[in-house]
Structure 1
Amino acid sequence: MVKVEYILETKNLKKFYGKQLAVNDVSLKVPKGSIYGLLGPNGAGKSTILKMLTGLLRPSSGEIIVFGEPWQRNHLERIGALIESPALYGNLTAFENLLVHAKLMALPKERIYQVLETVGLKDTGKKLVAQFSMGMKQRLGIAIALFGCPELLILDEPTNGLDPIGIQELRELIRSFPKSGITVILSSHMLSEVSQLVDYIGIISDGELKYQGKISHDEDLEGLFMNVVRGVKK
């Protein structure tokens, strides 16, 4: 039996906001080279978990293991993330937005052309980001997340607000990442968008991990999800 290598694990992760328990004993196992879908209704705790993984929030208790080591801030150099809406300069072009990050991260200009090509924005020229569609802005946000050549990419509801064409384009882009050696954690409450995309799922409901496992693309994800969230025994 082949041993699965996990790029990220959480062990009994908890997060309190005051006395309110938002995340309760969540133990994720994300296999290296996979697309892992973190699924759940709005308000289930998905974003809170992702913010703990990226250092935006401190866990109340529990452990995060990443790249085989206890989580440390320097691991963020190997993690790319797009949490909520991307922070972009509307009065600059896509290239100029990335140039800001190139200077901050001391990376060469050549990397800008690489990531713009990856996300399909290399021909936007002098068009200002304020004139971009929602889908183009999301792809630019992903370009920023990819800028440091991450091994792990974390995307929080990346297709929110996109039209069907934008969703399809983003889906194809995300599907390409494991071939480049990038593991993806993708949170969503839209089952249709991830059913043909993810290899593994974790279903979060009321702050708890109710189900976790490998999934095939022909499986009835919606049926599984509804049974898990409603507490129906299979």
Structure 2
Amino acid sequence: MNQVSPPTSVEQLMQRAEGLAGLTLAEIAAQLSIKVPQDLRRDKGWVGQLFEAALGAEAGSKPEQDFLHLGVELKSIPLNAAGLPLETTYVCVAPLSDVTGMRWEQSLVYHKLQRVLWIPVEGERHIPIGERHVGMPILWQPNAKQLSQLQQDWEEIMELISLGKVSQITARHGEVLQLRPKAANSKAMTTSIAEDGSLQMTNPRGFYLKTQFTAEILRNYFG
């Protein structure tokens, strides 16, 4: 795989991202000597990893922004033919124990969503992965209303977690942010708070942005 050095500025990062617009995933993969998978069932994170490689991201799976030195998180967003998001956007793993006294401003959700580089990409299943085109990138910072919505959802979900009600939280909780199981398989386990305050084993959970929230971000930029 051809290594791309990390961008030295937000301007350089945006130039690189704009340089991907209009290309297919196969064209980008060829530049980096990366093999295109047949489908994304086994390689769910492949598109995001391709963009990380093409743009010089360093974080990998570490719990920090992809471009920590620039304060920018990278997110690919698959769209349908109407330009609407096809799926929710994964933000980060949710803490399920040791949550007492945790504040919104200290949370990984807050940290990750301070500034996001969104890269739209064709996502409809009938288009072969290599033939999917990349769209124009968006550098987004949440406005006051969006931050408030995110904070409210995060605080409500975290309160339920702290009360030991993690198993009662469904994807319907939250206006813009939701909590869902996050694991490659249902055998993965982590500790969470039980209703009596003790610790219990449960599947890991992740925070996800709902599609109507990401659709609004796209609408605000592209009209």
TM-score above 0.5, yes or no: no
Please give the range of the TM-score, normalised by the shorter of the 2 chains: under 0.3
Bigger relative contact order, structure 1 or 2, given CA contacts below 8 A and separation 6+?
Answer: 1
TM-score, normalised relative to structure 1:
0.25
Q: Which has the higher strand share?
A: 1
